[in-house]
Amino acid sequence: MQLRDQITGALKQAMKDRDADRLSTLRLINAAIKDRDIAARGDGREDGVDEAEVLAILGKMVKQRQESARAYEEGGRIDLAEQERHEIGYIEAFLPRQLEEEEVAAAIDAAIAEVGAESIRDMGKVMGVLKGKYTGQMDFGAAGPMVKDKLG
């Protein structure tokens, strides 16, 4: 089943269940995807965004909410931080399982071997392979320094 179909199904179910918090988060997800679809059509891609881009949108939304939750905690607004965490849970339900640290290290080794990377100059190629294969499954902010250590 396509990710978009899963989101639409969850949206309908949230309406039936009268789950206002989940419904608002799902509507935000739909709006972000539609916004990116419009931009893609402007670039000449009539089909809009593909699955990988939808995963990237969801990953970005999770990251934004994590940063917001951290800022709310620092500001003493625990209630708002909790709300952000609930939204993260709703969004993560559509993301694939996150890779463990050992799996990330193995994926990095495989990507380095695949592109034949030998120095830090090849880091962009390695990250490109990782993003192509593992979008939504790993934190690329954490993977970048690991790649740098292995190549450096």
Average pLDDT, consecutive stretches of 10 residues, N- to C-terminus, the chain (152 residues) = 87 94 94 92 84 86 93 94 94 86 86 84 86 80 83 77
The CATH fold assigned to 3-92 is Hypothetical Protein Yqey; Chain: A; domain1 (1.10.1510)
Please report the pLDDT score of residue 31 as a whole number. Answer: 95
Please report the pLDDT score of residue 132 as a whole number. Answer: 81
Please report the pLDDT score of residue 1 as a whole number. Answer: 54
Please report the pLDDT score of residue 81 as a whole number. Answer: 94
Please report the pLDDT score of residue 6 as a whole number. Answer: 92
**What is the b/e burial string over 8-28, where b = at least 16 CB atoms within 10 angstroms of the residue's CB?**
eebbeebeeeeeeebbebbee
What architecture (CATH level 2) is domain 101-151? Orthogonal Bundle (1.10)
Please report the pLDDT score of residue 29 as a whole number. Answer: 95
